[in-house]
Structure 1
Amino acid sequence: MAASSSRAAGRSPLPLALIVSLFFLWGVANNLNDVLIPQFKKAFVLNDFQAGLVQSAFYLGYFLVAMPAGIYMRRFGYKSAVVFGLALYGLGALLFWPAAQQGTYGFFLFALFVIASGLAFLETSANPFVTLLGPRESAARRLNLAQAFNPLGSITGILIGQHFIFSGVEHTPEQLAALSAAERAAFVAHETAAVQLPYLAIGLVVLAWGLLILLTRFPAVHAVEEGAVPRDHGALARLLGDRRFLATLAAQFFYVGAQVGVWSYLIRYVQATMPGTPAKLAANYMLVSLACFMAGRFAGSALMRYVAPRRLLALFAAVNVALTVFAVAVPGVAGACALVACSFFMSVMYPTIFALGVEGRGDDERKLGSALLVMTIIGGAVLTAAMGAVSDAAGISRAMLVPAASFVVILLFARLRGAVER
């Protein structure tokens, strides 16, 4: 009877559907940050560096928790890691309610850290889990399908922010200065309260999804595989002594920093270079960016049938260097359109760099390498804060030099990788 139940679970599409949905859920959380930055900047009267701490707190959670998540996954299994990650994600979302009640920016940053800690568990476990939920020969196809749901979640996050968080009330510095203390307090309370209901809904949905996964029977074969004890104790030392792998870590660090930086400050760039543009209208540029990102993933996958991945990576990185430099030189509508176009060419970078980093490695090196590559998401915290500092000192347009330099690093990585392979 038990064996029959296991086979039924293996044939059921429900386990795979539940795990694939996680790619959508973390896409929502990731890109809601792009809405929170201008929202908190307005509500708390922050400079660009301070507003950029939204991403710093978020991606610090990824950096600190990725390796513990990998260890937890080895000890307790994929399903347990997913459920634990969803619990943290849901808890962090629910913390937005008391954070808004207190009207404290630091409390919001802590809530974002908790959300990101949950996402670190999800990203570390969901990718390999999808490859195991079905026949081995179709693993790549399942993973590509799952990844396609990520930009859909990102678009949903922007739509939530555009229609349920942005109020449309935007004061100039002079108007803010003219407000009385009571009026100022009421404005802050109104703008911070705007995040309460959206994040409450997200938190409840995420916790319910975690409960559904907990109660769903998954194929029993994974319990055997998850319980295996790693036998290769020198894998980490070999990875850290491998210059090619260290170069991969650097490339991924700068890629994540560039992507997060461009998206985080796109709305701010539009409003600063096109004065009078409301945040709700500026958010449309972000929506088009995410549509370009999704289109780029499909186009990039198709092109890789004819072009080697590292060559396509180098080409796309070179194009993005030109686009970001153009956005610096020609601020305004043209520059904003260039930044939107960047998303198409960024689309293949993360998975291509990731694949180049772990290809040809043994099981333990692949698992540890994957955890280390997830840790490089800290680039989103470091480079976004750096962009904020540049913006405060020299303007938002010049801040785009930071992602431009990052794309140069990726271009060099791809070219050097090709030289080594030859």
Structure 2
Amino acid sequence: MDGKINSAENVKVKNTNEIVPKKYTMHFIMLVSCFILWGLLNNMTDNLVPAFGRIFMLEAADASLTQVAFYGSYAVLALPAAILIKKYSYRNGVLVGLGLYIVGAMGYIPAAISQNFNLFLASVFVLAGGLSILETTCNPYVISLGPEETSVRRLNLAQAFNPLGSLTGIIMAKYFILSNLNPATYEERIAMSPEALSDIRSTELLWVCVPYVGLVVIAIIIWTFFKKSKDSERDTSGDLNIVKSIKKLIKIPRYAFGVVAQFFYVGVQISVWTWTIGYVMTTLGLDEASASEYYLIAIVSFIVCRWICTALMKYFDPAIMMAIFAVGGIAFSLGTIYLPTSQSVWCLVLISACMSLMFPTIYGIALKDLGDEVKVGAAGLIMAILGGAVITPIMGKMIDTGMLSFIAPSFSGQEAAVRSSFLIPVICFAVVLIYSICFRTKKTAK
């Protein structure tokens, strides 16, 4: 009899340690497809800034409105997404998010036909709104697909596929969009007849549309799966008073500080990746194409380390691991500032490796034990993505003005300005480090 009891207990423990229970396998796979999709689109959209600048002959500030539309949509629609999934279900959130992506992507077609930049911005806003709803929905959805004990590992596993999408997006943008831009300069385009310029734009905008519209097929397949499936969660709709939920959440230190930590983490990720190519060009004197190879290596290191970290989380506390990686991020950022170029560029690459586990780990720790408030809580963490839009231009301003060049006295001119700007990542990683230490899992005395 005791043997049977022990056997049952062992099965229970085994099931508790499952990352993804078998009954949720297909849901998990389809959600992972969503992670890949928005990772791909995030990085592909980054390349629309130079593409639209050339196609529509825009100043840099005007072309960057593409990113304003993209990240602005994230900020605007994250909270409505929380209301949606709080009132209905995660499944409905996925359906609406994918639906908005499909509408936004299809909007590229009339925008291309009319050669209208403002219509493209509207389409980008709608598309990014769909991605915002997907991120707000899919992260807590993944957490809900199994035991709480493995929730952070499960989210890290799902997020491990996100950078694969990012890498695919970089490659697709290079070969579909950037490679099909006409080499004609601004001056040459000005001198063209309206008909000739229109013909060039038509071809260029066609290739802008191809990857976005092509991915609609994948989005429809995922949408159909969730439309036909039943809700895999229990009813947790609860109170729909969002203001009440927000007031409750900000009083929870682990969550409130988690939003702050996520803001600084996303800020450091987007900042470092935005200025990686510029750093390499300045310090090594390479052209843009050659410098981009270091960016690709950085992305690959990010992917590999996320997979390794996901496996190691079975044995180590995720918060402790994140603290170690935050220390590494600080060290490599300082190396990027002070070490000789032959070493500093590799420190720059290794910063990405240190960032690999941070987003899903902060997410999982911040949402732990939130109960019915997890859906509104997820929205706050997605809105923290605004950190990328805030911190990136601050770092850019430091590069433009060289205001802190004095902290890199061994270098001069533009190189000193670029190097010194990496003081920003040091500060961002320090915030993540403090969060990791404050909210690590504390062992209870036996």
TM-score normalised by length of structure 1? 0.80
Structural RMSD (CA):
3.9
Give the conservation status (yes or no) of the 8 Å contact 2:182–2:200. Answer: no
Give CA-to-partner distance per residue, 1:230-276, whole Å, 9 cap, x none.
Answer: 48985432212234432221111010011011112323333444445
Counterpart of 1:25 in 2: which secondary structure?
helix
Total equivalences in the alignment: 406
Q: Is 2:423 the partner of 1:413?
A: no
- Counterpart pick for 2:172 among 130, 137, 160: 160
Give CA-to-partner distance per residue, 1:269-309, whole Å, 9 cap, x none.
Answer: 33444445243x43332322221111111222344445433
Q: State how 1:2-401 maps to structure 2 within 5 Å.
A: 14-40=26-52, 44=57, 46-47=59-60, 53-100=65-112, 107-131=119-143, 143-167=155-179, 179=188, 181-182=190-191, 190=200, 194=204, 196-206=206-216, 209-210=219-220, 213-214=223-224, 218-220=228-230, 222=232, 225-226=234-235, 228-230=237-239, 234-279=244-289, 281-329=290-338, 334-359=343-368, 361-394=369-402, 397=418, 398-401=420-423
- Which AA in structure 1 matches 2:352? S
Counterpart of 1:166 in 2: which secondary structure?
helix
Deviates more, 1:58-67 or 1:88-97: 88-97
CA shift at 1:150, angstroms?
A: 1.1
Which has the bigger relative contact order, CA under 8 A and spacing at least 6? 1
For 2:329 and 2:210, the matched residues in 1 are separated by 37
CA shift at 1:56, angstroms?
A: 3.7
CA shift at 1:27, angstroms?
A: 1.0
For 2:170 and 2:45, the matched residues in 1 are separated by 9
Deviates more, 1:202-211 or 1:334-343: 202-211
Based on CA coordinates, which of the two structures has the bigger radius of gyration?
A: 2
CA shift at 1:26, angstroms?
A: 0.8
Give the conservation status (yes or no) of the 8 Å contact 1:58–1:381. Answer: no
- Which AA in structure 2 matches 1:410? V
For 2:218 and 2:438, the matched residues in 1 are separated by 47
- 1:402 matched residue in structure 2: 424
For 2:279 and 2:120, the matched residues in 1 are separated by 23
Counterpart of 1:321 in 2: which secondary structure?
helix
Cα 1:197–1:369 change in 2 (3 A) is same
Alignment gaps of 5+ in structure 1:
1-9
CA shift at 1:33, angstroms?
A: 3.3
Cα 1:357–1:45 change in 2 (3 A) is same
Give the conservation status (yes or no) of the 8 Å contact 1:251–1:409. Answer: yes
For 2:295 and 2:104, the matched residues in 1 are separated by 24
Give CA-to-partner distance per residue, 1:304-355, whole Å, 9 cap, x none.
Answer: 4454333322221222123233334468664443222111100111122122
For 2:274 and 2:51, the matched residues in 1 are separated by 12
For 2:95 and 2:125, the matched residues in 1 are separated by 18
Give the conservation status (yes or no) of the 8 Å contact 1:257–1:380. Answer: yes
For 1:356 and 1:319, the matched residues in 2 are separated by 20
For 1:382 and 1:237, the matched residues in 2 are separated by 24
Counterpart of 1:79 in 2: which secondary structure?
helix
TM-score normalised by length of structure 2? 0.76
Counterpart of 2:84 in 1: which secondary structure?
helix
Alignment gaps of 5+ in structure 2:
1-21, 403-413
State, as a whole percentage, how many aligned pairs show the same letter. 33
Give the conservation status (yes or no) of the 8 Å contact 2:159–2:360. Answer: no
CA shift at 1:195, angstroms?
A: 5.6
